[in-house]
Amino acid sequence: MTSPISTPAGHHSAPAAGASLKRRLLLAALVAATGLAYALLPGRAQAQDTSNKVLRIGYQKYGTLTLLKARGTLEKRLAPLGIAVRWTEFPAGPQLLEGLNVGAIDFGTVGEAPPIFAQAAGAQLAYIGNEPPAPAAEAIVVPKGSALKSVADLRGKRVALNKGSNVHYLLVRLLEKAGVPYSEIQPVYLAPADARAAFERGAVDAWAIWDPFLAAAEKQLDARVLADGRGANGKNVVSNHQFYLASRPYAQARPDVVNLILDELATLGTWAEKNPKEAVTVLVPQLGLDPAVVTLAVSRFSYGAKAVTPAVLGEQQRIADVFYTLKLIPKPVKVADAAWQAQR
């Protein structure tokens, strides 16, 4: 998702203005398509204030970043630099990246698909790091008594999902594996809370969702997993990486802060992997979920944040190519253009 590029008064050229209009129109289309929370209003987009002494982080209710918020260790490490931290919660990755692109946040975490949709719209983002694969942490679920027994049974059925989120690619790949064209299901694009409500009242036949919403559906609704991201013989259908991204202007201006965040995430991941029960205790009040739900979700987390490698970017490129083939994004995307070279 993108925003107009600001230039000094009197320096707008006709071609630049035309390009800006095209970017605004593309963003407006993607806002409508993905249900983004940020309206495209005059003056909403703004240049990043990289001199600000507040690091603005966008998070969702899952994973290591939520754990980092709860433990407060990042604030302690940034204090000597005179930098405070402000946390903003988002319901899903597409909304978070829109917040990043309009200058509302500097850093955040999302799944595999949102950066591709955002990059297709011209967002100035940078891949900073990622966690190892967590293929079991997202799945397609159906009601306990559903007659659907396999992904192939989804043909002609209504499947709820958050468009542009990590489960969008999961659904595409599972359908492909089952021999069902994407055009032969009825996708119902809903944010997690609305999708759960639709699932509970039987308005949809299946729901593609990620943890901890997945764990809550299993524990609270007796939802049955139709398929998740794991495949046979150790060959995953999807990797389901969690990515850490920054606004490119911020990453370029403050590589010291970006590196520090990644280091802290790696340290925290090592602690959480060795102390899963303690991690659950910390996360329960943050997520507002029962301990049993959080325990199940945590068991499927992956830990080990590190800088994004060319191999991982290659996986992202394959996802981008599939989305373009299916006309889910309006133009080809070169993922490598959003790579960030860590500076020490």
- What's the pLDDT tens digit per position in 93-143? 889 999 999 999 999 999 999 999 999 999 999 999 999 999 999 999 999
Q: Residue 66 has which token pair?
A: 């939520």
First to last CA, the chain: 29
Distance CA 247, CA 99 (A): 10
Q: Residue 240 has which token pair?
A: 């389901």
CB 297 within 8 A of CB 78: no
Could you list the beta-strand ranges (E) of 151-200: 158-161, 186-189
Distance CA 136, CA 239 (A): 9
Could you list the beta-strand ranges (E) of the chain: 54-59, 84-89, 107-110, 125-130, 138-142, 158-161, 186-189, 206-210, 224-228, 243-247, 306-307
Which domains are assigned to the chain?
14-132+241-338 (3.40.190.10), 135-234 (3.40.190.10)
| C-alpha pair distances (Å), 308 with each of 131, 157, 278 | 9, 37, 28
Per-residue confidence in pLDDT tens, the chain, 344 aa: 333 222 223 333 333 334 443 443 344 334 333 343 333 322 333 444 545 699 999 999 888 999 999 999 999 999 999 999 999 999 888 899 999 999 999 999 999 999 999 999 999 999 999 999 999 999 999 999 999 999 999 999 999 999 988 899 999 999 999 999 999 999 999 999 999 999 999 999 999 999 999 999 999 999 999 999 998 777 899 999 999 999 999 999 999 999 999 999 999 999 999 999 999 999 999 999 999 999 999 999 999 999 999 999 999 999 999 999 989 999 999 999 999 975 44
- Per the listing, tokens 């981008």 go with 320
**Secondary element (H or E) of residue 196:** helix 192-200
Question: Over the stretch 153-195, which tens digit does the pLDDT of each residue have?
Answer: 999 999 999 998 889 999 999 999 999 999 999 999 999 999 9
Per residue, the 3-state secondary structure of 248-268, as one string, reads HHHHHHCHHHHHHHHHHHHHH
| C-alpha pair distances (Å), 89 with each of 11, 95, 121, 255 | 37, 10, 23, 24
Distance CA 24, CA 5 (A): 10
Full-model pTM: 0.81
- Exposure string of 273-298, with b = 16+ CB inside 10 Å and e = fewer, is eeeeeebbebbbebbebeeebbbbbb
Per residue, the 3-state secondary structure of 275-343, as one string, reads CHHHHHHHHHHHHCCCHHHHHHHHCCCCCCCEECCHHHHHHHHHHHHHHHHCCCCCCCCCHHHHECCCC
Evaluate the omega torsion of the peptide bond into residue 212 and state whether it is cis, within 30 degrees of 0. Answer: yes
